[in-house]
Amino acid sequence: MLIEQIYTGCLSESAYYIESEGVAAVIDPIRDIEEYLHLAASRNATIKYIFETHFHADFVSGHLDLAAATGATIVYGPSTVTNLHVHIAKDGEIFELGNISLKVLHTPGHTLESSCYLLRDESGKDCAVFTGDTLFVGDVGRPDLAQKTNEITMEDLAGMLYESLQNKIMPLADDVLMYPGHGAGSSCGKNLGDEAHSTIGEQKAGNYALQQPDKASFIKAVTEGLTAPPSYFPINAKINKEGYENINAVIEKGMKALSVTEFKELSKKDEVIILDSRISKIFTEGFIPGAISIGLEGRFAEWAGSILPFNKSILLVTEAGKEKESLVRLTRVGFEKFEGYLSGGFEAWVAAGEQIDMIIDVEADELAMDIPFDPNLVVVDVRKEAEFADGHVSIAINIPLVDLVDPASMANLDDHHNIYVHCAGGYRSVIALSLLKRQGFHNLRNVIGGYGQIKELGDRIEIAKSVEALN
């Protein structure tokens, strides 16, 4: 028996490859399926099943393309509603895989169709459970993503999740391995742990949600403090439920090399945006005017889904050789409209004598020196509200990065302001600055190293905490 966890860092997502006697299954595959196919081929195995724990909202699953490539059966749990060709399993249904088996545990709460898969080894012993977004290391799935009508509330779903955990997960033996669908950084929970996997016993002892004394306490604990989910979540859930274009066809469109002239002409169209996936510190040194920066070095796909419109076509500017990686990672969150990429990259644009723009980088100590002497200085902190509340530059205004998509969020900023932008470490601030540039702001500074460097200055910059953080 083989269990292989395949982790995708920029999505904090875990897929699983399980094999016995040359027969394999994949749980929650991402859209680019080559790794699963390669793994099966290298082991002379046949992928028989594709198990989905639910309709994912944070990424586009590879279920359809993987089924088309292998002939495998796609399995969803009870309460699944879709027109796709899938097997809707019964609660408790067992699927044989070589000389092991997987049992369906219907665990509604995160979504109505959410299900876990209990793995039994060659002797019939429960040895592992794949919990999807029902149970994470240190957390549980958020119960607000499946809320579509007034007929079912977030509290209703949280109550279902409580019953699912109590009746299906808690009775499992303490030594059963627990393999979750996501790790730290995912927006599918509130505060996921760093560990890639755990055991049921460890979660019973240390997971806050499993420590609640009753259902009412559980509902309160898991619904408090939920921030708004990324805006692309409903789009991805709909794609997973209704289907999508083959990934190879999508990437083929995006891999069209464009000359500077072709790129420039296409960029003039209203329905086209320029996305620059070069790393942040390179972007600030020079970029095509109007380009949005989302560097591949960070949570690229998640921020692309949160910031970029899905109804517009994308023109790519990348580092040499990073064109396909940029496209693949964009398809993971549902982007399918691509015009092509700039052949020769930004260097070709410069060599052609085209206009460029740039953003000035400053160290935190320069900000400290400028604050007392510049009456037009404005510090914009683009971290999340909770991060801001925990500590911030006392004169800073908080505009979370996701809010900058709406030009109205910039209403308190003016052309005469000297705007210093920072985040936690420097990645989000460059995205924010590219959005501000598109709105016509040009007196901009990027604080290198973000709040992490600002804190190192001690009392040279006054730090404050929000009232709620102090209580």
Domain ranges of the chain: 2-234, 245-351, 360-470
pLDDT beyond 70 at 468: no
Which pLDDT score, from 0 to 100, does residue 287 have?
98
Residue 392: beta bridge partners?
464
Beta strands across the sheet bearing 444-447: 360-362, 444-447, 418-422, 377-381, 397-398
Distance CA 148, CA 146 (A): 6
Which pLDDT score, from 0 to 100, does residue 471 have?
46
pLDDT beyond 90 at 410: yes
What is the enclosing helix (H) or strand (E) of 429? helix 427-438
Angle among Cα 70, 71, 73 to the nearest 5 degrees reads: 115
Bridging pattern class, strands 94-97 and 87-88: unpaired
Q: Mean pLDDT in the chain?
A: 95
Q: Which residues of 290-301 are buried (b: 16+ CB within 10 A; e: fewer)?
A: ebbbbbbebbbb
CA atoms within 13 A on the CB side of 340: 16
Q: Which two tokens stand for residue 397?
A: 């205004």
Please answer whether residues 367 and 461 qualify as being in contact, where contact means their C-beta atoms are separated by less than 8 angstroms: yes
Residue with tokens 């702001």: 441
Domains 245-351 and 360-470 share a fold: yes
CA torsion 20-37-334-337 (nearest 10°) is -170
323-331 helix and 300-307 helix, angle to the nearest 10 degrees: 60
Fold category of 245-351 in CATH = Oxidized Rhodanese; domain 1 (3.40.250)
| For the chain, counts of helices (H) and of strands (E) | 17, 26
Distance CA 314, CA 267 (A): 9
Residue 30: beta bridge partners?
61
DSSP per residue over 206-259, as a string?
A: H-GGGG-SSHHHHHHHHHTTPPPPPTTHHHHHHHHHH----HHHHHHHHT-EE-
Fold category of 360-470 in CATH = Oxidized Rhodanese; domain 1 (3.40.250)
Short-list 457, 383, 382, 378, CA closest to 418: 378
Which pLDDT score, from 0 to 100, does residue 133 have?
97
Angle among Cα 163, 166, 170 to the nearest 5 degrees reads: 155
Which pLDDT score, from 0 to 100, does residue 413 have?
93
Q: What is the mean pLDDT of residues 201-214?
A: 96
Which pLDDT score, from 0 to 100, does residue 190 have?
86
Sign of CA pseudo-dihedral 174, 176, 180, 185: positive
pLDDT-derived band at 72 (thresholds 50, 70, 90) equals very high
- What is the model's pTM? 0.93
Which pLDDT score, from 0 to 100, does residue 148 have?
56
34-42 helix and 63-70 helix, angle to the nearest 10 degrees: 40
Query: pLDDT tens-digit profile of 331-351?
Result: 999 999 999 999 999 999 999
DSSP per residue over 168-188, as a string?
A: IITTS-TTSEEEESB-TT-TT
What is the enclosing helix (H) or strand (E) of 357? none
pLDDT beyond 50 at 470: no
Residue with tokens 């399993």: 89
Query: pLDDT tens-digit profile of 412-466?
Result: 899 899 999 999 999 999 999 999 999 999 999 999 999 999 999 999 999 998 7
Residue 318: beta bridge partners?
none
Query: pLDDT tens-digit profile of 309-323?
Result: 999 999 999 999 999
pLDDT-derived band at 28 (thresholds 50, 70, 90) equals very high
Q: Which two tokens stand for residue 261?
A: 């002239």
Which pLDDT score, from 0 to 100, does residue 149 have?
47
Q: Which two tokens stand for residue 249?
A: 């066809």
pLDDT beyond 60 at 469: no
Which pLDDT score, from 0 to 100, does residue 79 have?
95
Query: For the ranges 32-41, 184-193, 216-225, which has the lowest average pLDDT?
Result: 184-193
pLDDT beyond 60 at 165: yes
Which pLDDT score, from 0 to 100, does residue 150 have?
53
- Domain spanning 2-234 has what CATH number? 3.60.15.10
Question: Which are the contacts of 265, defined by CB distance < 8 A and separation ≥ 6?
Answer: none
Which pLDDT score, from 0 to 100, does residue 145 have?
85
pLDDT beyond 80 at 147: no
Residue 123: Cβ-neighbour burial (10 angstroms; 0-12, 13-18, 19+): exposed
pLDDT beyond 50 at 382: yes
Query: pLDDT tens-digit profile of 4-20?
Result: 999 999 899 999 999 99
CA distances from 326 to 27, 299, 339, 457 (A): 24, 12, 13, 36
Count other C-beta atoms under 10 Å from residue 204's C-beta. 14
What are the φ and ψ backbone dihedral angles of 199, each rounded to 5 degrees?
A: -130, 160
